[in-house]
Amino acid sequence: MVRPHAHWFQDIHVQTHAARLGMWIFLGSETLLFGGLFALYAAYHAMYPQAFAKAGAHSDLVLGTLNTYILITSSATMAFSLHATRSNSPKRALGLLVCTMLLGSTFLVIKGIEYQEHFHHGIYPGAHYEFADLPENGARMYFTLYFFMTGMHALHVLGGLVVLGWLAIQTHRRHLSQQSHLAHELGGMYWHLVDVVWLFLWPLFYLVN
């Protein structure tokens, strides 16, 4: 099932390039969204270097690193799923999409466990912070940034899971074909972005000391 190209594009190749370029630009804007938060982190880290190091010791390095390996692997399964669609293997593509979703869900579960652990110690964002071991302002800023940045990222993971779910349904119904599967490629790009953002969040919040 191949759709004809929209008439304002010269041909299907120009349309495909426009779609990809548009997606890269959109991902660029998403990156700038996180970029602003990274700049905030840089500023507060420069202001409170010791507090950041002490607060960073309270993150679960094992869970954080495990989540990094999980998202990297989910990017691999995503790439392989697109490859399967391109190789006219929709069953394999569906299986790999489901794998990707399972890995992404596991990431969120682990994140939830970490948040629970923080709440248990009175570590909440902003004005609700009441962690007795580290009352200083620098620690409060660190954890506020932690919740905001990993929370924003988790929302993107959730959005990515919705996109993947839709792709899985489309693949299952054979609406994506070897010839026409741009949605699979673009949806995959979004998932890879979610992985890349975490690759930078991991050192900021788990290797800071």
Partner 1 sequence: MRHHAAARIYASTWLALLVLTTLTFVLSLAALGELHMPVALLIATVKGALVAFYFMHLAEQRSANRIVFLMAVLVIAILVLLMYADVATR
Using CB under 8 A as the criterion, which residues of the chain lie in contact with partner 1 when the complex forms? 17, 20-21, 24-25, 27-28, 31-32, 35-36, 38-39, 42-43, 45-47, 65, 68-69, 72-73, 75-76, 78-80, 83, 86-87, 185, 188-189, 192, 195-196, 199-200, 202-204, 207-208
Q: Which is nearer to partner 1, 28 or 122 (CB)?
A: 28
Residue 99 DSSP SS3:
helix
30 Ramachandran zone, left/alpha/beta (phi>0; psi -120 to 50): alpha
What the block records as the tokens of 93 is 């593509």
Alpha carbons within 13 A on the beta-carbon side of 160: 32
Q: Which is nearer to partner 1, 6 or 88 (CB)?
A: 88
Candidates 92, 65, 70, 72; CA nearest to 80 is 92
Smallest separation, CB 140 to partner 1 (Å)? 17
Q: Which is nearer to partner 1, 88 or 166 (CB)?
A: 88
Q: Which is nearer to partner 1, 168 or 201 (CB)?
A: 201
Count of beta carbons in the 10 Å neighbourhood of residue 56: 20
